[in-house]
Chain A
Amino acid sequence: MSERFAAASERKVISRTSAEELGTLAHIVVDVKRRQIASLVVGKGRKALLIAWEQVSGFGPDAIMIADDTALQEPRDDGEQAAADGKLELIGKRALSDSGNDLGNVTDVVFDPDTGAIQSILVDDREYPAVSLLGAGSFAVIVREPAE
């Protein structure tokens, strides 16, 4: 199974207990070291709330299911605030190789919706496997360029 960040953007987030819509998916936060989704940022009106990946009960094709709205947290520190503000969003970010080449912009990220594992990252529609992802921050995503 695989799913893409761009396609999942603005997918509705639903409470499993009340069947209410709690918001829509605003951003996906990636733990680059583990190459794994760390948390989701859910937009609810003008607010941005976070939920850890472990607390997502189902990342489905039509809706993202969570237990209830108590699972959604306000940002608690600078890192979470940056995530909530979308500063860590991978899509649209410049991609640099570890040898200092500008590779283009990140256009999409492919992941496994069951486990949250990152499978690959697309830079101007060229696909780089997840293992080539070295780092990411507010300035750039760093990718290891394959040996020619």
Chain B
Amino acid sequence: MSVLVTGSAIRGLPVVTIRGGEDVAEVRDVIYSPEAGRIVGLTLNKRGFLAGRRREVLSAETIHAIGPDAVMIEDESSLILPENSPAGLGTPPSGRDVTGNEVLTEAGASLGQVRDIVVLVGSTGTVVGYEIDAAAGGTGYIPLPKQLAVSGSALVVPDATKEFIEDNLVGLAAAVDKFRSEAESR
């Protein structure tokens, strides 16, 4: 079964080369494209306590896998300067931060507010859901369809999403597969 992690769990993970076995950086922040439904890249810190920021970034295309314990890359040539990176990673457009956005169903009901993204482990940054402050109270996890409408302040999800709100990541992993297969058969 799929394993999921939140965006905040990715921050601070070591970035490790597969061939070299070295920890070349650690994740500073996650750059996410809500339209594409995926992580476009990662910004980096140097390794070590209070070591500070690294200028280079990591494009999702050169990430081998985002795991629960490390982000794996082939070798250090994957680290690129922001000016050489794909648009949207070097200078991410403002207003792309989805945290705090309201989640509305197509019928106009609010499910809550986005707190974090939920990423498929072992992938190169596929975002399959959101962690939300549920309108009904507490933390909720909702699956995302492959396409959805987003603005700077809200996103619109299918009505069926409310039947798939889970209170933990394990439940969400099962819900994502079911939700996406149902959405496709409609």
> In this assembly, does A132 line the interface, its C-beta being within 8 Å of a C-beta of chain B?
no
> In this assembly, does A92 line the interface, its C-beta being within 8 Å of a C-beta of chain B?
no
Known contacts A100-B65, A137-B21; 16 additional CB pairs below 8 A are A32-B21, A96-B16, A97-B67, A98-B18, A98-B64, A99-B65, A99-B72, A100-B13, A100-B66, A100-B69, A134-B18, A135-B18, A139-B16, A140-B23, A141-B21, A142-B18
Residues of B within 8 A of A (CB): 13-14, 16-23, 64-72, 121-122
Q: How many whole Å from B69's CB to the nearest CB in chain A? A: 4
A25, B25: Cα distance in complex, Å: 34
Q: How many whole Å from B42's CB to the nearest CB in chain A? A: 13
Query: Which residue of chain A has its CB nearest to the CB of B13?
Result: A100
Q: How many whole Å from B125's CB to the nearest CB in chain A? A: 12
Given known contacts A96-B16, A98-B72, is B65 in contact with A139 (CB within 8 Å)? no
The 13 listed contacts between A and B (C-beta, < 8 Å) are A96-B67, A96-B69, A98-B65, A100-B16, A100-B66, A100-B68, A102-B69, A134-B18, A135-B19, A138-B21, A139-B14, A139-B16, A142-B18
Contacts of A141 in B (CB 8 A): 21
- How many inter-chain residue pairs (CB < 8 Å) link A and B? 64
Contacts of B16 in A (CB 8 A): 96, 100, 139-140, 142
Contacts of B17 in A (CB 8 A): 135, 137
A101, B66: Cα distance in complex, Å: 9
Contacts of A32 in B (CB 8 A): 19, 21
Residues of A within 8 A of B (CB): 32, 96-102, 134-142
Given known contacts A96-B16, A100-B70, is B21 in contact with A140 (CB within 8 Å)? yes
A142, B69: Cα distance in complex, Å: 13
Q: How many whole Å from B132's CB to the nearest CB in chain A? A: 26
Q: How many whole Å from A27's CB to the nearest CB in chain B? A: 16
A100, B13: Cα distance in complex, Å: 10
Contacts of B121 in A (CB 8 A): 99-100
Given known contacts A135-B17, A140-B16, A142-B16, is B122 in contact with A99 (CB within 8 Å)? yes
**Beta-carbon contact of A138 and B67 below 8 Å:** no
Contacts of A134 in B (CB 8 A): 18-19
**Beta-carbon contact of A99 and B67 below 8 Å:** yes
Contacts of B66 in A (CB 8 A): 100
**Beta-carbon contact of B72 and A100 below 8 Å:** yes
Given known contacts A96-B16, A100-B122, A142-B16, is B70 in contact with A135 (CB within 8 Å)? no
Q: How many whole Å from B120's CB to the nearest CB in chain A? A: 11
Q: How many whole Å from B154's CB to the nearest CB in chain A? A: 33
Which of B14, B69, B71 has the largest count of A CB atoms less than 10 A from its CB? B69
Q: How many whole Å from B14's CB to the nearest CB in chain A? A: 7
